[in-house]
Each structure stands twice: as structure tokens, then as C-alpha cells.
Amino acid sequence: MHGPTVHDDIQRVLFSEEQIAQRVLELGRQITADYADAVARGEEIELVCLLRGSSIFMADLARAIKLPVRMDFMCVSSYGNGVHSSGMVRIQKDLADDVAGRHVIIVEDVIDSGLTLKFISKNLESRGPRSLEIAALVRKDLRDQADISCKYQGFACGDDFIVGYGLDFAERYRNLSEVCILDPKVYA
Ligand code: PRP
């Protein structure tokens, strides 16, 4: 076993590798229970991963769901290399699958302003899915967040800049095993 991340740029570990693993298993169990009947009826689940940040969460969550799932990937970006959302969401790579008639679960790493999910939910809803839900690893507890209904939420946190377990700052730190608070000196 490795110890916790020790890194000059990290202020502290917010969610440990063990906490994340536990919570992802719980979310997987919940999703398995919620969709078992639908799958038994022959309906399909489509996990839609929003690249790049959600790639690691997607890989773990998909394996925690004990039902057949399809997996597809969409690359969206709103932050560029900055700290704040630009509010402009761009689809850089669209899905390969047609999600019409399928139970879509959007897999997202973090809900910050909520602008990404607001945009993508509306976009996917227009494609005629049988149902549409959101699974987010972390939701920031912010007053001015967009109104998003997230059925499967891993954790909540404050307005700190978090990295790790897929989350980056300027494309760094994605491969940390924990979710960590970045030292403000890094982006000051
Ligand atoms: C980040 C993150 C979410 C989004 C959340 O993506 O991965 O997708 O921002 O922010 P919001 O709720 O304020 O919209 P980013 O655009 O940085 O791309 P990435 O996934 O490649 O890191």
C-alpha cells in the first residue's frame, strides 16, 4: 500500500483513496439496485463520461455497477487552464453512441458552477434518452450553483480548488489517488 500523497503543491488530502473506494462502491450498489428491473426488461444503461476529469471515476464506478452497461465518452471543456469556469461549454468530442431510448447516466467528477452539467443535460435530453441521471463524485456546496438534480453524489465540499482522482489544475495532478486541496500558491 502507498501512503497518502505527499506533494509540495498539495495543502491537504480531502478524500482519501479508501474513502473514495468505499463511496464509489456504495454508488455502484445504489445504481445496480435502481436499474436492475430496467435491465431485466431488456433496457440498456449508457454511462456517459465527461472527459477528461471523469475518466478515473468512470473506470471505478462502471466496475462497481453489477449490471451490463454501455460506456461512451464525451469531451467537454469550460475551464481551459484557468481556475474559474468560462461559462462557455464546448463539445470537443461527441458521443459515438446514439443514446435515444437508453437509460443515460452522466458521469462527472465535480459540480462546481454547474454550467457544464446544465449544458450537457439539456443537450443529451434533446437526444431522447429513456431516462437521464447524473452521477458526480464531488459536488461543491455553492450558493450560486446552477440548479442541477444529481441523484448519485459521492461527496460534498466547499469552494476549495481540488485536484486528484481525475481532477486537474492546468492538466496536472489528475493521477493522484486522493482528492486533495491544491495549495493556493500554485494558482495565485
Ligand atoms: C471541469 C470538471 C467538470 C467541470 C465542472 O472540467 O471536470 O467537467 O469543470 O465545472 P462547472 O460545474 O463549473 O461547469 P474542465 O472543463 O476543466 O475539463 P476537464 O474535465 O478536462 O478537466
Catalytic residue numbers read 112
Q: Write out the DSSP string of 75-117.
A: EEES-TTSSS--S--EEEE--SS--TTSEEEEEEEEESSSHHH
The one-letter amino acid code at 145 reads: Q
Residue 1: pLDDT band by 50, 70, 90 thresholds? very low
Query: How far is the centre of ligand 1, averaged over its atoms, from the C-alpha of 121 (Å)?
Result: 14
**Which atom of ligand 1 lies at the shortest distance from residue 171's CA?**
22
Name the more confident of 157 and 187: 157
> Is pLDDT above 60 for 113?
yes
pLDDT at 88: 74
Query: How far is the centre of ligand 1, averaged over its atoms, from the C-alpha of 78 (Å)?
Result: 6
With a Cβ cut-off of 6 Å, ligand 1 is lined by 50, 52-53, 77-79, 85, 108-116, 168
Query: How far is the centre of ligand 1, averaged over its atoms, from the C-alpha of 116 (Å)?
Result: 7
The helix/strand count (H/E) of the chain reads as 3, 9
The one-letter amino acid code at 128 reads: G
> Is pLDDT above 60 for 4?
no
The total number of residues written for the chain in this structure: 188
Mean pLDDT of 84-112: 91
pTM of the model: 0.94
What is the overall mean pLDDT for the chain? 93
The one-letter amino acid code at 35 reads: Y
Find, among 188, 171, 167, 116, the residue nearest to 14 by Cα.
167
C-alpha cell read off for 39 = 435491465
> Is pLDDT above 60 for 3?
no
Mean pLDDT of 135-163: 96
